[in-house]
Amino acid sequence: MTTITDPKQGQFRLSMLLYDSRYRAITIQIIALIGFLTLIGWLLSNTAQNLAVLSKEPSFSFMFEPSGYDINQRLLDYDSQDTHLRASLIGLLNTLLVAAMGCVAATIIGVIIGVLRLSPNWIVSRLTAVYVEGFRNVPLLLWIVFTMAILIETLPRPSAFRKGEASMSLWDTVAMTNRGIYIPEPLFSRSLGDMHLLGASALRFDVSLDLLALLAVVIAGFLTSILIKRRADIIQEATGLRPRTWHLRLGVVMLPFLLVLTILGFHLGYPELKGFNFRGGIHLRNSLIALWVALSLYTGAFVAEIVRAGILAVSTGQTEAASALGLRPKRTMSLVVLPQALRVIIPPLISQYLNLTKNSSLAIAVGYMDITGTLGGITMNQTGRELEAVLLLMLVYLAISLTISAVMNWYNQSVTLRER
């Protein structure tokens, strides 16, 4: 008969740190931590020595000095006397602007192409496949520079409009020139004016009261519309008949909106050729358009694949079960297929939005002044503060990414299948 005895307690030998699985995990972790800290310490001491030699002690005071450069495409007021901090803020807003525009356009393109790619129509599915493969297999930076070059080289100069060689498109409302595209701007003849916030600080901004009023009316309209829907739901529960509500819901949103527009005296200001250039209207510069178009088309190809995968992920059994229950095709789509497809589509879609936002940093290649172009471009080169500028730049992008990931995690938790 054999007996198994435990090793005697209390006999700790040094070699057990390596060979005893109870202690080995701790040893490895401590070694890893020491290695990591040594690496960080080594890098930091090197950096300190090098910066001391260059006499550039780390400091962020340069952010409060006048920037001395202009930013042509901007959402807030800014001039070259403003600080680098304000320039970075303008850049950040430009990043967010092109990211938001790109996300909307990429979603629209992606959904249309993704659905068409599943079409039983052979030629349509082939054409969309060509689009998807073409855009996914060619670098985004190439598309951006390419689009920029096309805009600059093929669109007419403003002087061509004077000579009559070119004319404005869309019933004389939009001027497409090689200096950018001019579109009509919304104007209010009885404007409520602007609200100036935060005084004269670097973060000051103006809010148009007209816009606020319109926003308030639209939100109120939507809330009322939801109330109407709730009431219809209650009636349906009680009687089994659903009252017709769409005209009421549309009217509640649209009528007050149109009313406020009329009260404020809404009209469009068209671009006009004055001197050597167009005046009036909103001037979308080539850099913004090239970036927007290329980002949307490129990301749209990825979104199309996500949408296609999402729709394919819903098994046909679900559709058949819904028809067996007697649901009409439209209700099958909205109540059975879409909720399940969206569960698959939305997480990768959000990560595409994140990619698009990070990719918007390629703006620097066409001179669009986003946060990379201001803080990581001109500010860095002018002040010579590479360490601080790159650090701030990374922090800004990390903050954006972490915010988007937080939204994604929240969504994932809210749609997780709760299994019993």
Partner 1 sequence: MPDLSYVRSEMLPERAPPASQVGIVGWARANLFNGIGNSILTVLSLVFLWYVLAAILPWVFAPTWSKGSLNECREVFAADGGHGAACWGVIRERWVQLMFGFYPEAERWRPVLAFGLLFVALIPVLFNMISRRMNWVLLLVVLGLAGVYLGGVLGIIVGLALLGAAAFVGFKAFTTSKEDRAAEIASGVKRLPNPLFFSALYPFIAPWLLWGGTIWMPVGAALGFVISVLAYRSLLPFVGNLAGLIIAVVAALVWWLLLTAPFAGGLHTIIPIGLEPVESRDFGGFMLSITIGVVAIACSLPIGIVLALGRQSDLLIVKALCVGFIEFIRGVPLITLLFVASTLLNIFMPPGTNFDIILRVLIMVTLFAAAYMAEVVRGGLAALPKGQYEAADALGLDYWKAQRLIIMPQALKISIPGIVSTFIGVFKDTTLVSIIGLLDPLGLTNAIRADQNWNGIVWELYGFIALMFFIFCFLMSRYSMYLERRLRTDHR
- Residues near partner 1 (CB under 8 A): 18-19, 25, 28-30, 32-33, 36, 43, 46-47, 49-51, 53, 119-124, 127, 133-134, 136-142, 145-146, 149-150, 153-154, 358-359, 361-362, 364-365, 372, 376, 380, 386-387, 390, 393-394, 397-398, 401-402
Rounded to whole angstroms, the Cα distance separating 279 from 273 reads 6
Q: Supply φ then ψ for residue 338, to 5 degrees.
A: -60, -45
Closer residue to partner 1 (CB): 264 or 375: 375
Q: Which of 219, 220, 197, 192 is nearest to 208 (CA)?
A: 192
Task: State the minimum distance, in angstroms, from the CB of residue 360 to partner 1.
Answer: 8
Q: Which residues are 278's β-sheet partners?
A: 273
In the sheet with 282-284, reading across from the earlier edge strand, the strands are: 175-177, 180-183, 282-284
Rounded to whole angstroms, the Cα distance separating 84 from 90 reads 10
Task: State the minimum distance, in angstroms, from the CB of residue 277 to partner 1.
Answer: 21
Q: What are the structure tokens assigned to 8, written together?
A: 């005697």
Task: State the minimum distance, in angstroms, from the CB of residue 13 to partner 1.
Answer: 13
How distant is the alpha carbon of residue 266 from its chain centre?
Answer: 29
Task: State the minimum distance, in angstroms, from the CB of residue 264 to partner 1.
Answer: 41
Closer residue to partner 1 (CB): 18 or 207: 18
Task: State the minimum distance, in angstroms, from the CB of residue 140 to partner 1.
Answer: 7
Q: What are the structure tokens assigned to 59, written together?
A: 């400091």
Closer residue to partner 1 (CB): 245 or 401: 401
Closer residue to partner 1 (CB): 18 or 197: 18
How distant is the alpha carbon of residue 357 from its chain centre?
Answer: 5
Burial of 387 (C-beta count, 10 Å sphere; 0-12/13-18/19+): middle
Rounded to whole angstroms, the Cα distance separating 3 from 7 reads 12
Distances (CA, A) of 410 to 213, 331, 415: 31, 27, 9
Q: What's the CA angle centered on 180, arms 178 and 182, to 5 degrees? A: 125
Closer residue to partner 1 (CB): 139 or 243: 139
Closer residue to partner 1 (CB): 9 or 137: 137
Task: State the minimum distance, in angstroms, from the CB of residue 219 to partner 1.
Answer: 33
Closer residue to partner 1 (CB): 183 or 365: 365
Task: State the minimum distance, in angstroms, from the CB of residue 23 to partner 1.
Answer: 13
> Using CA atoms in the order 159, 164, 165, 170, what is the torsion angle rounded to 10 degrees?
100
Cβ atoms of 308 and 133 closer than 8 Å:
no
Task: State the minimum distance, in angstroms, from the CB of residue 122 to partner 1.
Answer: 4
Q: Which of 372, 389, 356 is nearest to 100 (CA)?
A: 356
Task: State the minimum distance, in angstroms, from the CB of residue 191 to partner 1.
Answer: 39
Closer residue to partner 1 (CB): 144 or 168: 144
Closer residue to partner 1 (CB): 247 or 330: 330
